[in-house]
Structures are given as C-alpha cells and as structure tokens.
A = this chain, B = another copy of it.
Amino acid sequence: MKMNEGVEWALHSCVNLCWLPEQAVPAAKLAAFYNLPAAYLNKQLQALTRAGILSSTPGPKGGFQLARFPEQISVLDIVVAIDGPDEAFRCSEILRDGPGGNATTDYRKTCLISQTMRTAELNWRRELAAATIADIVAKVERTFPATPENTRRWFEGLRT
C-alpha cells in the first residue's frame, strides 16, 4: 500500500503558495524549488485545480494560486485530489460467497472484519480532515520563522 508520491509534493506546493498570495506561480517554478520533475508536478497541480484547491491562470504570466483560504483546505482534501477517494481496505464481501451467503446483504456494513478495518481507516481520514494547510503553515512559522520570507525571496528570484 503506497500513497501517490505526488501527495507530498502537492502538500509542500500548497504550503509555499500560502506565502505567495499575490501571484500566479508557474508549475516549473514550484517544481524547481525542490528540484522536482516539472511535467509530473504540473499534473498534480492540475488535479488540485480540478478539485477546487488551486486556480490556474493560463498564458505566459500564468500559473497556480490557492483557490481557497488555507483554513479551508484540509490535508485530506489534498490526499483525495491526488490519490483518489477510494478506501485502502476494500471489502470485496467474500462472506457473500461463503456458506449461508446472501445476495442482497450489504456485507460492507454487516461484516465485523469490514467494520473493524473501515472504522480505523475512517478515523485516520478524520484526522487528515481536521488538519488544514493553515495549521501546517502556522506550525512552520512558529518552528522556522525565517521560512516564509526565504520562500518569498526565492520565488522573487533572490536565492537566499
């Protein structure tokens, strides 16, 4: 089980965009910041745009910006936009093919194995839903106070 590696890139890019609120930032520049492959990061940024997390401005001066306040973007929003909405544990309802199995029962609800797995995963998703990009930005600013200004200066072309 492996989450799409683009989740890490997307989270970092959204955090960086919080410190660049006045500009549309090209994918190539967001990628260069971490030496990531630009075409692949661009795909992730397009997925975030389709999910309403970023807005995209076309053209030579174009790029990506946050489409919502950081308080309104959860970590789960980004995970789902990049990695998809499917649960990791997918109950295939094998009880239906067992002795006494019933064609009309929803075993995803009645099977106690399925319930155990899905409850744990739901709690994990709830924790990711409760964490926002604003929370992460606030923690970074408390822990590494120079980061916002260093990030802004890098994107303005003045490498720190």
> Which stretch, A7-15, A52-60, A64-72, touches the partner chain B?
A7-15
Decide if A143 touches B3 in the complex (CB within 8 Å): no
Q: What chain B residues lie within 8 Å of A11 (beta carbons)?
A: 113, 117
Decide: A34 and B98 in contact? CB cutoff 8 A. Answer: yes
Report the count of interface residues on A (CB-CB < 8 A).
Answer: 53
Among residues of B, the one whose C-beta sits closest to the C-beta of A114 is B8
A4/B1 contact (C-beta < 8 A), A113-B15, A120-B124 known: yes
1/0 per residue A110-152: CB within 8 Å of B?
A: 0011101101110110011001000110011001000000110
**Given A99-B160, A112-B143, A150-B99: A8 touches B89 (CB 8 Å cut-off):** yes
Which residue numbers of A lie inside 8 Å of B, CB to CB?
Answer: 1-5, 7-9, 11-12, 15, 33-36, 75, 83-84, 86, 88-92, 94-95, 97-100, 112-114, 116-117, 119-121, 123-124, 127-128, 131, 135-136, 139-140, 143, 150-151, 154, 159-160
